[in-house]
Amino acid sequence: MERKRSILEGFIAGFSFGSAAIIIRLLEGVNAYTIAVMRLIIASLALIVISMIRADLSELFKFRAELIPLGAFLGLHLVFFIMSVKDTSVMNATVLVNTAPILTMIIGVSLFKIRASIEDVMLVLMAFSGALMIAYPDLSHEGKLIGDLEAIISALLESIYLNLGSKFRRKTDPISLMIPVFILAAFTASIAAHLTGTSLRLPLEIRTIALILALGLIPTAIGHTLYFSSLKGLRSFETATMALLEPISASIIAVFLFGEIPSLWSVAGSALTLSAVFLVSLRKL
């Protein structure tokens, strides 16, 4: 039952992540650091309100020292992902950031002694192959290599975040846990902005504020909380595989908003990726 719930949480998180790249692309004129900090602050406030309604603030500040690396990796992951969306196509950014299942599995097996069966390896490779097929038509374009590299760095940071997060998820409620993690992540992004000489400035326009609110609530407060919560019933690389739903939903939305028509390679890759995600969801039900 717990695994079924975690799979559902992973699916919802994966689809909600798809809105992030679209909203980021619409936020023209706002730098990556500002977007990262604001979305994390909004997400933190939303979860605090939920905790207050539940009258459950008892665990809010537990494990603070241990959560510092978790917040740091999440903050940097978001900064690099936002940069990649601005520097390359929506499809490239969302596909390459989801190479995290491979990196998560490698890190989990080599550093955290997580056991992976041959079937696990094959399913993750299947999903990763589909993701590469989606990205293939765009990867050959010049001028997008920086954005592609930023997406891969973001994937590496996410894989470390997932492996570190597995043990914390078993200790406490995900909402209570994610509040300090989001705050630490926002602090990390603020420090990164200062170190790079980037000012945090949000244009006070209704459209911009509405988009930032949507970004903070849908893919961040809802998506990342459910994503983290799914670690309770799934292994870290299985959770990362669920997030491969992100490039599917983002690419579909991008067709209508930005006219990014997917190629046959992309359609075939999408089918392969979704098949892998479906097979992961069926395992050990």
DSSP string, 126-167: HHHHHHHHHHHHHHTSTT-HHHHHHHHHHHHHHHHHHHHHHH
Number of other residues whose CB lies within 10 A of the CB of residue 217: 18
**Which is more confidently placed, 20 or 139?**
20
* Model pLDDT for residues 148-167, shown as the tens digit of each residue: 889 989 989 988 887 787 77
Nearest to 208, CA basis, from 18, 20, 29: 29
Could you tell me the two tokens for 204?
């006070």
* Model pLDDT for residues 254-268, shown as the tens digit of each residue: 888 988 787 788 788
DSSP 8-class letter at 217: I
Could you tell me the two tokens for 152?
């891969």
How far is 280 from 275, CA to CA, in rounded Å?
9
User: Given pLDDT bands bounded at 50, 70 and 90, which one contains residue 70?
Assistant: very high
Could you tell me the two tokens for 96?
């390459």
How far is 54 from 35, CA to CA, in rounded Å?
29
What global pTM score does this model have? Answer: 0.83
Q: Please provide the average confidence, as pLDDT, over all residues in the chain.
A: 82
Residue 75 near residue 36 (C-beta atoms within 8 A): yes
State the greatest distance between any 2 C-alpha atoms of the chain, in Å, as a whole number: 53
pLDDT at position 171: 66
How far is 56 from 66, CA to CA, in rounded Å?
21
pLDDT at position 239: 73
DSSP 8-class letter at 42: H
User: Given pLDDT bands bounded at 50, 70 and 90, which one contains residue 75?
Assistant: very high
